[in-house]
Amino acid sequence: MSRSYSFNEIEQKWQRFWENQNTFGVEADQGKPKYYVLDMFPYPSGAGLHVGHPEGYTATDIMARYKRMKGFNVLHPMGYDSFGLPAQQYAVEHGIHPRITTERNIANIERQIKMFGFSYDWSRRVATTDPQYYRWTQWIFLQMYGSYYDREADAARPIGELKTKLESGEVRIDARGGAGWAELSEEQKRRYLDSRRLAYMAEVPVNWCPALGTVLANEEVTNEGRSERGDHPVYRRNLKQWMLRITAYADRLERDLEGLDWPERIKLMQRNWIGKSTGAEVDFPLESVATEAWFAARKANGFTADPGEGVIRVYTTRPDTLFGATYMVLAPEHPLVAEITTDDRRQEVQRYVSTALHKSELERVAEAKEKTGVFSGAYAINPVNREKVPVWVADYVLMSYGTGAIMAVPAHDTRDLEFAEKFGLPVIQVVEPPEGAEWRGFVDDGVAVNSGAYNGLATPEFKRRITEDLEKAGLGRFGVNYKLRDWIFSRQWYWGEPFPIVHCERCGTVPVPEDQLPVLLPEIEDFTPAASDDPEAPPQPPLSRAAEWASVACPACGESARREVNAMPQWAGSCWYYLRYIDPRNDQAAWSREKETYWMPVDLYVGGAEHAVLHLLYARFWHKVLFDLGYVSTAEPFAKLFNQGMIRSFAYRDQRGIYVGYDKVDSSGETPRHKETGEALTESIEKMSKSLKNVVNPDEVIGEYGADTFRLYEMFMGPLEASKPWNTRDVPGVHRFLHRVWRMVEGSEDQASLVTDGNVEELERSLHKLIRKVGQDVESMKFNTAIAAMMEFVNAAFRSGRIGRGQAERFLLVLAPFAPHIAEELWRTLGHDQSLAYEPWPAFDAKLAAEEQIEVPVQINGKVRSKLTVAPETDEKQIEALALADPKVQQQLEGKRVLKVIVAQKRLVNIVAK
C-alpha cells in the first residue's frame, strides 16, 4: 500500500541521517577539483531568523549539492558573527550577560538553520566570540601591528625591515634632509616606527555617542546625526583611537576589482567609496609667515611631507582655478582652527564649531542645506598671485576628505558659489566656458582667463603646467586623493575582541607575545557602557573596570603596565572567518598553508548587497595584508559574488494607521480585513520588521508545509537577485507540486505510482531538455526557471500516465539539490540503499535536448519580407513581438503605420500597414 507524504517525519529522518553519517563532512583532496561556496554568516540576534534570511542559504545549498553531484569536493560551512554592539545592547536591555544571550541566540538560530536541511559541514562551525577563534583575530592584528607599507615594493613588509633600512641609511626619515636615524633618541625612533605601522594609534575626529559610551562607524549613524541603535545624539569629536592603514591599499583595492566576477553595481559602490581622484596638493601660507624668505626657502628645499607651522595645505582636482580662489575654508574639526582664530573672532568660532559637532557628515554635505560659516579672522596668501584671502570655518568642508581644508573658487564650484553669495565674497572668473554657456558656476573644462601667463591654455594643459610650476617653486605637487580614510578600529564597548596590546610608561605600546594569546575577555558583572549626557566627557570603556585584568607586567621590561581597554569593532571577526573555516580546529596556526592553498579562493560568496562596501572592503584589505606577508596564496578572497534580493512582506494598517499583525488578518477575499472587527485594512509591501508586525517566522511555515516546500517556494518567487514580497497564500501551490512528485513515484491511497519498467518514449526528450536546462539554470543561479521546468516535466509525466524507473531516478537527481528530503526518500522507494547526495548529476544527450524549431514566414501586405525561427512552444503574442522587432520588417515598415497584425496558428504572420 502506498504511503502518504508525511513531510515532517521524512525531513526529520533525513536530517538525522545526514548528521549521524556526517554526509557533508569534507577534507582537502588533491585528487578532486574543489568548490568553496560560502554564505555571509549571520549575526545571532534574539529574534532569530525570519523568512528572508534563508533565501541566500537555500541558494548556496542548491549550488553545493549540485557541485557535489558534478564531482567537486565541496566546502560549505556555517558560523556566527557574534561580537558587537547589537549583542551588547540586547544584553543590556534584558539584564543578562552578553555571553549568555549570545549562546542562547546561537542555539536558537542553529536549530532554525538545521530544520531547512542545508548541507553544511557542521564540524567546521565557528563563532567569533569563541576564544579559540578570536585568538587568531588577535594574531592577525599583531601581524598588522608588526608591518608597514613599503611603497617601493607596493606591499606590506615586516616593520623590522624598515628599521634595518633606516639603520643602514638605505632609507631616510625625510628624503629631503633632516635628522638622521642615528641622531634620534630611542623614544623618537620608537615613535617614528609606530607612526609607520599598519596598525597605529592617532587622534582623529570620530562619531561619539555619549549615551552608548562608544565611537560609532558612519554606517551606524543616521542622516539626522543620531545612533542607529537607540536613536541617541551623536557628536563629532577628536579622540585617540586605534587605526588600520587601509588607505595604503586604496590603489590595489580599486585596481583588483577588475578581475573579480562581481556585480558591476557592487564594484561601482566600492570604487565610489574608495573615491580615487587626481589633482594637486598646494600650500597656502598664512599672512604671518608668507615672507619672501619663506618663499625662497620653499624653492630651495622643495615641497615637504609636513607643511610646517602656519601653512594650510589643500588638495584640489582643479589646480587650474587657483587664480580664482578668493577665500579658504577649514572644516570645524581642523586642528588649525583653534590655532589661527583671532581673539576677536574666537567666541563666535567656538560656538559655530560646537554646533557643527552635533551634525552628521551626511547632514553637513546635503545639497539642499543652506550654507553656514564663520570668519576666523585670519588670512592666507594665494601662492600663485600672492593675493590675500580670508580663512573661513564652515561645516560643508569635511575633515574626512582631502586635507580638511579647501581653496574656494566660487566662480567654478556650486557650493563655493552659494557660500560666497551668502557672505558677500568675491567671485572671479578664471575658466571661459564654450560659447553660449554661463561662466558663473561653470564647473567643466574650458579655457583659462584672468590667470596671468596661463591665459588661453585649455584646462588639461593648464592643470599640468601649473602643477609642474608649483612643484619647482616648492609650493605644490601632483597628488592622488581618496575619499577612503584609515579605518577607526577601536570601540569603547565590552562585547568585542580585546586588543593584544599593553601600554608601558617606559616601553610605550607593546604587543602581547603570540604564545600568550588569546588575551581573554574578562568576565565582568557591569558590562554596560558609561553613558553620559556630556559629549565632552572622557570615554570610560567597560574593560577599564576590570582592574585586575587590566593591570599586567610589561612583556618587554617586566615593569607595571596596563592592557589596552578598548575593544575591536564587530567587523574584525568577519574579516577572515572564511579562512578559519578551512582549518577550524588547528591550535597551532590560524590555518594550514597546505589547506589554504587547496581551498582558496572562495568560488561563490552569497550575501546581501547591504554589505557591498564595508564588510567586503575590509575583508579584501585584511586578505591583501596576509597575502603580502605570505600567509595566503591568493590576492583576492572572493572570486565570485552574488547578492540575493530582499524578501519583503505585506504589512496591514487599520483606518487609524495602526499596524495589524498577520494572525489578525483575513486575506482570503479581494480586500484584507481584520478578523475580529471586519474592518477593511490597507495593504502595503514593506521590509520585515517587528514594528510593522509583518515578520513571518519560518518555524510556522515549515511546521505547516515542510522545509522542501519552503526551499522551493523561496527559489520560485522570482529571480534570486530581485526584491520580492513573501506571500503565504502562494506557498500551497508549491506544496501541491511536491505532493504530485510523491504521487508520481510513490503513489497514494487513490492513485498508483506512475513508475514503470523501461523508458517512456514521449518523456525521454523532455527529460534530456530538463537535465540540460536545470544544469544551466543552476550554474547561472536562475533557480525559479529551473523549478518551473521541473513542474512542467511532472505535468508531462501525468499527461503520459507513466514514467520509466530510470527516468524517475534521473528526475529525482535533478530535484535533489532543491528539495533534498523528498528526493532522498523517493530514491529509497526506487530501491536504492545509499544516499543520493554524491550520485553523479545525470548526463543529457545534446541531440535529444536540442530545442525543436519551426519557421514562420512574415508577410507585409501579402508579401513575404522575412522569416522567424522559433521554438514550438512560443505563443502567438511572442511571435507577433518578434516579427515587429525583426530588422528586415522594421526596414520595410519605415514611414508606415501598422494597422493590424495577424498570427495564423504559428504558421504565418501577416502585417497590414499603410
Q: What is the mean pLDDT of each run of 10 residues along the chain (914 residues)?
A: 89 98 97 98 88 96 99 98 89 91 96 98 98 99 98 97 94 66 92 97 90 83 81 87 97 97 96 94 96 95 91 97 98 94 96 85 73 96 97 93 94 96 97 92 95 96 98 96 93 96 97 98 90 85 96 97 96 98 98 98 95 91 99 98 93 87 83 88 86 87 97 96 91 97 93 91 94 98 97 96 96 99 98 96 89 86 90 84 89 87 89 90
Residue 324, helix vs strand vs coil:
helix
Which residue carries 585568538 as its cell?
135
Q: State the amino acid at position 307 in one-letter form.
A: P
Q: Are strands 604-607 and 34-39 parallel, antiparallel or unpaired?
A: parallel
Q: How many residues does the structure list for the chain?
A: 914
β-partners of residue 389 are 380
User: SS3 of 668, please?
Assistant: coil
What is the C-alpha separation between 234 and 227, in angstroms, rounded? 6
- Phi then psi dihedrals of residue 744, to 5 deg: -60, -40
493 touches 85 (CB < 8 A): yes
Backbone angles phi, psi at 311, to 5 degrees: -125, 130
pTM value is 0.87
Rounded to the nearest 5°, which phi and psi values hold at 73?
Answer: -85, 105
Q: Are 810 and 772 in contact (CB under 8 A)?
A: no
CA atoms within 13 A on the CB side of 671: 9
Three cell numbers, residue 276: 580615487
DSSP H helical segments within 197-304, as ranges?
A: 250-255, 264-274, 292-301
Please give the Cα distance from 736 to 280 (Å, whole number): 67
Residue with cell 492513485: 751
How far is Cα of residue 428 from the mean position of the Cα atoms in its chain? 43
In three-state secondary structure terms, 455 is coil
Positive or negative, the CA dihedral 568, 636, 643, 400 is positive
Residue type present at position 487: W
Between CA 239 and CA 208 the distance in angstroms is 9
The three three-digit cell numbers of residue 641, written as one number: 559574488
Name residue 578's amino acid.
Y
C-alpha cell at 305: 611631507
CA-nearest of 271, 277, 273, 276 to 258 is 271
Of 639, 563, 711, 621, the C-alpha closest to 11 is 711
CB-CB contact of 663 with 191 (8 Å): no
Q: Are 501 and 511 in contact (CB under 8 A)?
A: yes
C-alpha cell at 560: 607595571
Torsion angle of alpha carbons 54, 55, 61, 62, nearest 10°?
A: 150
Q: Which three cell numbers stand for residue 399?
A: 575633515
Count of beta carbons in the 10 Å neighbourhood of residue 319: 25
Listed residue (137, 149, 274) closest to 614, CA to CA: 274
Residues paired with residue 509 on neighbouring β-strands, in sequence order? 503
Q: Are 252 and 568 in contact (CB under 8 A)?
A: no
Question: Cell 586604496 appears where?
Answer: 250
Q: Which residues pair with 80 in a beta bridge?
A: 127
Nearest Cα to Cα of residue 740 among 795, 788, 821, 801:
795
Cβ(191)–Cβ(202) below 8 Å: no
The residues with which 659 forms a beta bridge, in sequence order, are 653
